[in-house]
Chains A and B, each alone.
Chain A
């Protein structure tokens, strides 16, 4: 799990005690930042050499000012109290990428300091780095295989927020309505129930939002596209023959 700082003093202490820290600024009113927290919480398992520190931006106003936070989520990759890099936005793959980047940078730093003073401080050797990367790729391959089989589960598959009977978002609801109006028989998957599918499918299909409609394993589009195709009378022609 990641840790949280509840006061400025606590924040400063954590940065003092830990060589490598990734700070994630969030706010309870920003849904994307709260969702990113779920991903953030998963990272410590993979990267035990780094502290993952969550900061509620508005609670620790002083810290937010110091880091010049303009929007949440924002992430800072800090080595010995100094941010090496940072980025803004609810972008899971960017977080993964920059974390991997950070890991390789600190491996380099550790190696350098070891060469200088023979200080053994939990270095990450190249072998471990390679292993981490391989594991990352392996996980992704497995996830994509799973997505492939999910989108082909039925001829028509809707990946949505909630279920057709209880949609959790207006766009998902309206998409269900259009499909039902056109008497489509379709399966559905609730992406809110599975963050790995939710994030993976965006990358897999290069499409940033939900709902996503698949027919014969091919992405047709989101609500805007389905609405437009329905209005043009083009949707009907995509209906698979039973």
Chain B
């Protein structure tokens, strides 16, 4: 079973800057086809990248985990975007 921690730890291998933000939530719920997760990553590593390239980056980092889960919804923001968009940002 994949847990939020597995995903967070895998992301940390790349998003290792102290300013990088990683949030992972298990949104599997009942009646669905399999494990579903949502994640938000805030990092300046995304600066200058198109959304598609940001998503591809996450897909590559999580390649092994993605094989074992059903769905992943992601937000990939720069730190600036993160501060603007994060609901009740910590």
Q: Is the interface of B mostly helix, strand, loop or mixed?
A: helix
> Is B52 within 8 A of A225, CB to CB?
yes
> Is B51 within 8 A of A208, CB to CB?
no
- Asked whether any CB of chain A lies closer than 8 Å to the CB of B36, the reply is no
Choose one: B52, B59, B66; the contact of A219 (CB below 8 Å): B52
A-B contact pairs, 7 of them (CB 8 A): A91-B67, A208-B66, A219-B52, A220-B52, A224-B74, A225-B52, A225-B55
> Is B51 within 8 A of A225, CB to CB?
yes
In the bound complex, what is the Cα–Cα distance between A224 and B51 (angstroms)? 10
Residue-wise interface mask of B (63-90) relative to A, using a CB-CB cutoff of 8 A (1 in contact, 0 not): 0001100000111000000000000000
Known: A206-B56, A208-B59. A228 touches B67 (CB 8 A): no
Which chain A residues border B59 with CB–CB below 8 Å? Answer: 208
- Additional pairs, 13, CB under 8 Å, beyond known A220-B50, A221-B55: A91-B67, A207-B52, A207-B56, A208-B59, A220-B52, A221-B51, A221-B52, A224-B55, A224-B73, A225-B51, A228-B51, A228-B75, A229-B51
Residues 121-173 of A at the B interface (beta carbon under 8 Å) = none
Q: Taking the nearest CB of chain A, how far is it from the CB of B79, in angstroms?
A: 17
Q: Is the interface of A mostly helix, strand, loop or mixed?
A: mixed
Residues in B lying within 8 Å of A, measured CB to CB: 50-52, 55-56, 59, 66-67, 73-75
Query: What residue of chain A has the Cβ atom nearest to residue B52's Cβ?
Result: A221
Query: What residue of chain B has the Cβ atom nearest to residue A30's Cβ?
Result: B33
A206, A225, A229: most-surrounded residue (chain B CB, <10 A): A225
- Asked whether any CB of chain B lies closer than 8 Å to the CB of A89, the reply is yes
Query: What residue of chain B has the Cβ atom nearest to residue A226's Cβ?
Result: B51
Q: Taking the nearest CB of chain A, how far is it from the CB of B4, in angstroms?
A: 19
Which chain B residues border A89 with CB–CB below 8 Å? Answer: 67
Which chain B residues border A224 with CB–CB below 8 Å? Answer: 55, 73-74
In the bound complex, what is the Cα–Cα distance between A224 and B50 (angstroms)? 13
Which chain B residues border A206 with CB–CB below 8 Å? Answer: 56
In the bound complex, what is the Cα–Cα distance between A229 and B50 (angstroms)? 10
Q: Taking the nearest CB of chain B, how far is it from the CB of A57, in angstroms?
A: 16
Which chain A residues border B74 with CB–CB below 8 Å? Answer: 224
